[in-house]
Amino acid sequence: MNDLEKIYDQTAGQEIVNLENPPESEAESPKLAAGILRRWYIALLIFIVVCALGLPAIWFLIKPVYVVTGQIHIAPIVVDILTDTRDRGDISDYQSFINTQAEMVTSSRVVQRVADNLKGRNLAFFNNEQADYITKIKQRFMGKKTPDPAEFVKQALLSQTVTVKAPRGRELIEISMYSDNYNDAMQVVNAFINAYMDVGVDSSTQDADQKLTALENERKVKAEEMEKLRTQIYQLAQEYGTATLSGRQDMMLRNVSSLNARLTDLEASKMNIKAQIQLLERVKEEHLSPDELLKMRQQYINRDTSVVSITERIAKLEQSLIVARETLTPTNSEVIVQTKLLKTMKEHLVQRKEEASKEFDELLSEEVAKAGEAKLLNARNLLEQTEVYEKILRDTIEKADSETIRLGRIQLNIQDLQDKLTMTKERYDTVLKRIQDLQMQRKRQPRISVHDYAHIASIRDRRTKLSFGIILAGLACGMWLAYIRDKADQRLRTPEDVAKRIGIRIIGTTTSMDTVKRSLLPEHIIEDYQTIRANIGLLGDEGIPKKLVITSPGMKEGKTTFAINLATSLADAGKKVLLIDGDLRKPDVARLLNLPKDSRGLQDVLSGIKLERAVQSLASNGLDVLAADFRDAADAYELLALSSTTERINEISKQYDHIIIDTPPVLAFPDAMMWAKVGNAVILTSFAGHTTLPELREAKERLMQINVRVLGTVISSVGSEHSYYRQDNSYYAKSAKTRRMKRKTLLQKTD
Listing DSSP states for 193-246 in one string gives HHHHHHHHHHHHHHHHHHHHHHHHHHHHHHHHHHHHHHHHHHHHHTTTT-S--H
Decide: 484 and 688 in contact? Cβ < 8 Å: no
Read off the pLDDT band of 5 (50, 70, 90): very low
CB 18 within 8 A of CB 725: yes
Higher pLDDT: 193 or 93? It is 193
pTM of the model: 0.42
The predicted structure's pLDDT at residue 699:
83
pLDDT value, residue 26: 40
pLDDT in tens, 273-284: 887 777 767 655
Backbone region of residue 724 per phi and psi (left: phi > 0; alpha: psi in -120 to 50; beta: other values): alpha
Task: Flag whether pLDDT at 579 surpasses 90.
Answer: yes
Burial class, 680, CB count within 10 angstroms (exposed 0-12 / middle 13-18 / buried 19+):
buried
Mean pLDDT, residues 193-204 = 75
> In whole angstroms, what is the distance from residue 43 CA to residue 40 CA?
5
Res 124: pLDDT: 73
**549 pLDDT tier (thresholds 50, 70, 90):** very high
- The lowest-confidence range among 324-338, 341-355, 368-382, 548-562 is 368-382
390 backbone dihedrals φ, ψ, rounded to 5°? -65, -40
CA 521 to chain CA mean position, Å: 61
3-state class (DSSP) for residue 511: strand
Q: How far is CA 68 from the centre of its chain?
A: 37
Helix, strand or coil, per DSSP, at residue 690: coil
Cα–Cα dist 72/171, whole Å: 8
Residue 366 has pLDDT above 70, yes or no: no
Q: What pLDDT score does 499 carry?
A: 56
CB burial class (10 A; 0-12, 13-18, 19+) of residue 16?
buried
Evaluate whether 558 touches 8 at the Cβ level (below 8 Å). no
Does pLDDT of 77 surpass 90?
A: no
Tell how strand 506-511 and strand 710-718 pair up: parallel
Q: Is the pLDDT of residue 8 over 80?
A: no
CA 59 to chain centre: 39
**Amino acid type, 616:** Q
Assess contact for 440 and 80: CB atoms under 8 A: yes
- Those residues whose C-beta lies under 8 Å from the C-beta of residue 476, and which sit 6 or more positions away, are none
Strand 162-165: give its sheet, edge to edge.
162-165, 172-179, 65-74, 448-460
Contact 198, 386 (CB under 8 A): no
CB atoms closer than 10 angstroms to residue 682: 27
pLDDT at residue 632, as a whole number: 65
Of the ranges 35-39, 258-262, 435-439, 747-751, which one carries the lowest mean pLDDT score? 747-751
Q: Collapsing DSSP states into helix, strand and coil, what is residue 24? A: coil
Least confident segment among 237-241, 549-553, 638-642, 675-679: 237-241
Residue 225 burial class via C-beta count within 10 angstroms: exposed 0-12, middle 13-18, buried 19 and up: middle
Can you give the pLDDT at residue 469?
87
Most confident of 4-18, 489-503, 650-664: 650-664
Q: Looking at domain 2-20+491-750, which CATH architecture does it have?
A: 3-Layer(aba) Sandwich (3.40)
**pLDDT over 50 at 119, yes or no:** yes
Rg (CA), the chain: 64
Question: Could you give the CA distance from residue 188 to residue 163 in angstroms, rounded to a whole number?
Answer: 11
Using 50, 70 and 90 to split pLDDT, how confident is the model at 715?
Answer: confident
Query: What pLDDT does residue 659 have?
Result: 92
More confident residue, 220 or 718: 220
Query: What share of the chain has pLDDT > 90, as a percent?
Result: 3
Alpha helices in 442-508 (DSSP H): 463-488, 495-501
Q: How sure is the predictor about 661, in pLDDT bands with cuts at 50, 70 and 90? A: very high
Q: What pLDDT, on a 0 to 100 scale, did the predictor assign at position 16?
A: 34
Q: Is 86 exposed, middle or buried (0-12, 13-18, 19+ CB in 10 A)?
A: exposed
Q: How confident is the model at residue 503 (pLDDT cuts 50, 70, 90)?
A: low
Give the chain's mean pLDDT.
Answer: 76
